[in-house]
A and B are shown apart, each in its own frame.
Chain A
Amino acid sequence: MKISMANIQRLTAEIVSIIDADKIDIDLSFAEAGLDSLDTFTLFLKIEENYGFSIPDIDVNKIKTFQDLLNYSNNRLLENA
């Protein structure tokens, strides 16, 4: 299984309805896309619940952009495969 940017955009739209999720640039940071810290926690939680792995606190600080999240998530899925 591989996670796509479209998957992340869909989950983001569930959290922040005012954001046009389809247009989120993959290189944007979460803050630049309009997500506050609690929205970002929620996005991570949705990733964890939808794809069956946890994102430990020690890794959270490394994930600043949607691209970081995509790379991180797909690496974790590969590890767990």
Chain B
Amino acid sequence: MIYLNSIGSYLPENEIFNASNLEKFAVSEDFLLNKIGVISFRKKKVHEETSDMCVKAFLDLQARAHFYQEDIDCLIVCTQNPDGYGLPHTSAIVHAKLGLKQNCAVFDISLGCSGYVYGLSILKGFMLANELNNGVLITADPYSKILDENDKNTAFLFGDAATATLLTRAKQNTWKMGKFLFCNDGRNHQAIHVNGESKKFAMNGREVFNFAAKVIPKHINDVLQKNNLAIEQVDHIILHQGSKFLVNTIQQKLGIIEEKAPFLAKHYGNTVSSSIPMILKDVDPEYKYILICGFGVGLSWGSCILERAQ
């Protein structure tokens, strides 16, 4: 069996406060606080690379989980904003910067906001298939590389962050991964994309909202059913932190209280594939069941149940 052991994270120091842009985009403070929900976000330095962010998240994980570089048998980086042009893969650069051993499997996966859930399943399956003991899943998707600072639809939402999650065979004080459920609707892939000419990020906010509001509540009920759980048995639901409005809409459609599926990204924003582990790292260890749900670019979505293993 493979368990989710610990999570490390990294937020760049440079904090951008959205209040300073309200006038520029004719957005009210009420709308910012109650709909967007992001007071501030972090932005990496121009010359700080994705791999640098990965390294910092890994080192934070190492400080928490106390392991050596040579213990790591597999490293996955989930990003769609890799170093350079993505060749070589960012995980190979991270492998070098961390001085990991040669017999360590290393590869990238290209997914956005559903990437953490997919990544957990990929790493777990890869470790089981190849009899590995310790694997690390890193998420690092610095959208500051592609954001258009004049785009009102996205300028308030996205922040840079990285996380690193250790999967091990050791069971104590970990999370057991239950059954996963993955879906995709490629017909609407243009809803979130990078424009080929401008090289800037573009998002159709209404299309993403409609997708999330229509599809995700049913999907969450489906993954609960797959795991033979009722929503009342789950202590906490971690939704991808797209925006406060998006999270609140899904929570209301599920008929649960806000505290059970809260928006918690007000000081760092939508950090894409890092949004779930940014919350999961601080979750109450007394919880028995947690549901995690990522959705976005693709349009892709996936969920799973985490069960506390004592």
**A45 interface neighbour in B35, B204, B210, Cβ under 8 Å:** B210
Task: Knowing A49-B214, A57-B204, say if A41 contacts B31 (CB, 8 Å).
Answer: no
Q: Is A36 engaged at the interface, CB distance under 8 Å to the other chain?
A: yes
Q: Which residue of B lies closest to A42 (CB)?
A: B249
Contact B35 A57 (CB under 8 A): no
Given contacts A36-B31, A36-B35, A38-B35, contact A45 B214 (CB under 8 A): yes
| Complex contact B209–A45 (CB within 8 A) | yes
Contact A41 B210 (CB under 8 A): yes
A42 to B205, CA, bound (A): 12
Give every chain B residue within 8 A of A42 (Cβ-Cβ).
213, 249
- The yes or no answer to B182 lying at the interface (CB within 8 A) is no
CB distance from B147 to the nearest CB of A (A): 20
Q: Check B204–A41 contact: CB distance below 8 A.
A: no
CB distance from A69 to the nearest CB of B (A): 15
Q: Measured between C-beta atoms, what is the minimum distance from A72 to chain B in Å?
A: 15
Chain A positions within 8 Å of B207 at CB level: 57
Compute how far the CA of A48 lies from the CA of B211 in the bound complex, rounded to whole angstroms. 13
Q: In terms of DSSP, what is the predominant structure of the interface of chain B?
A: helix
- CB-CB under 8 A from A57, the residues of chain B are 204, 206-207
A42 to B214, CA, bound (A): 11
Residue tally, chain B, CB below 8 Å to A: 12
Cβ-defined contact, A38 with B204, below 8 A:
no
Q: Does B201 interact with chain A (Cβ within 8 Å)?
A: no
Task: Kindly state whether residue B107 has any CB partner on chain A within 8 Å.
Answer: no
Provide the residues of chain B in CB contact with A60, threshold 8 Å.
206
CA distance A72 to B31 in the complex (A): 28
Q: 22 interchain pairs (CB within 8 A)?
A: A36-B31, A36-B35, A38-B35, A38-B209, A38-B245, A41-B205, A41-B206, A41-B209, A41-B210, A42-B213, A42-B249, A44-B206, A45-B209, A45-B210, A45-B213, A45-B214, A48-B210, A49-B214, A57-B204, A57-B206, A57-B207, A60-B206
Please list the residues of chain A having a beta carbon within 8 angstroms of any beta carbon in chain B.
Answer: 36, 38, 41-42, 44-45, 48-49, 57, 60
Q: A41-B209, A45-B210 are in contact. List 20 more A-B contacts (CB 8 A).
A: A36-B31, A36-B35, A38-B35, A38-B209, A38-B245, A41-B205, A41-B206, A41-B210, A42-B213, A42-B249, A44-B206, A45-B209, A45-B213, A45-B214, A48-B210, A49-B214, A57-B204, A57-B206, A57-B207, A60-B206
